[in-house]
A = this chain, B = another copy of it.
Amino acid sequence: MTTVRCDMTTSLDGFVCGPAALGPPYVDDGFHRVTRWITEVFSWRERHGQAGGTKSADDEIAAEMVDGAGAYVMGRRMFDSGEEPWGDTPPFRAPVFVVTHREREPLHRNGGTTFYFVTEGVRAAIDRAKVTAGDRDVHVSGGADIVTQAVSDGLVDDLHLHVAPVLLGGGTRLFDGLRPGIVELAKVRVVDSAQVTHLSYRFSRGMR
């Protein structure tokens, strides 16, 4: 069965980026600071066509993320932000379903990545990604709003939070506008590394 997972890196105060990332290109110093752990590891760099990188606990986590992914779901702003830097050979090597309000023909790239534009919302995008992923995982990659919607709607199985030891004091919060109510998760794994702490949880299907 396909597992729907989210991997989000946040600051200690729950932000995925700082206040300067509220407009295009949706990245800023705060974003670069919290995501630094992954941009420094071997497997991420290899996927992005960059040489070098560390082999560490962080690298193993990053490798697990990309190796298991059969399809991706992301928001339109994340796509807009990434389209140019990802270039002709994006790091996904799998179908990517972009949740957007704007119809658009699929965008085929090298290396196995095709972007499909889904105008029926995050649930429809995840459903289409599941069909494509087969037995592999569906990754809801972000941004924060898409992940929050997917969690609110009970569409996520596994939540992986990578917590950077930094406070931002502003920006875009993960889980801002999450549906209220006490939702229990099962803690699956905690991996500590020099850069971040990796917290993995599973939603209890019955409790959503």
* B184 near A165: Cβ-Cβ < 8 Å: yes
Chain A contact residues, majority secondary structure: mixed
From A14, A161, A167, residue with most partner B Cβ within 10 Å: A167
The distance in angstroms between the C-alpha atoms of A174 and B197, with both chains bound, is 19
A201 contacts chain B at the CB level, 8 A cutoff: yes
The residue in chain B whose Cβ has the minimal distance to the Cβ of A186 is B165
Give the number of copies in the complex.
Answer: 2
Check A46 for interface membership: any CB of B closer than 8 A.
Answer: no
Are A13 and B167 neighbours in the complex by a CB distance under 8 Å?
no
Q: Which of B159, B166, B175, B183 contacts A182 (CB 8 A)?
A: B166
Please measure, in the bound complex, the distance between the C-alpha atom of A29 and the C-alpha atom of B169, giving whole angstroms: 27
Chain A, range 1-30, C-beta contacts under 8 Å to B: 12-14, 18-19, 29-30
Chain A: how many interface residues by the 8 Å CB criterion?
Answer: 38
Query: Is B163 in contact with A167, judged by CB distance below 8 angstroms?
Result: no
| Distance of A196 Cα from B161 Cα, bound (Å) | 14
Q: Does A151 contact B (CB under 8 A)?
A: yes
Q: Is A101's CB within 8 Å of the partner chain B?
A: no
With both chains docked as a complex, state the minimum distance between the C-beta of A147 and any C-beta of chain B, in angstroms.
11
Contact, CB under 8 Å: B169 / A181: yes
Q: A12-B201, A174-B13 are in contact. Are A166 and B190 (CB under 8 A)?
A: no
A132 to B37, CA, bound (A): 41
Whether A96 is near chain B, meaning CB under 8 Å from some CB there, is no
Please give the distance in Å from A133's CB to the nearest CB on chain B. Answer: 25
A-B contact pairs, 18 of them (CB 8 A): A12-B159, A12-B201, A13-B175, A13-B178, A14-B14, A18-B182, A29-B182, A30-B182, A163-B199, A166-B183, A166-B185, A168-B180, A168-B181, A169-B175, A169-B180, A169-B183, A187-B197, A190-B190
Nearest opposing residue in chain B for A174, CB measure: B13
A10 CB to closest chain B CB (Å) equals 9
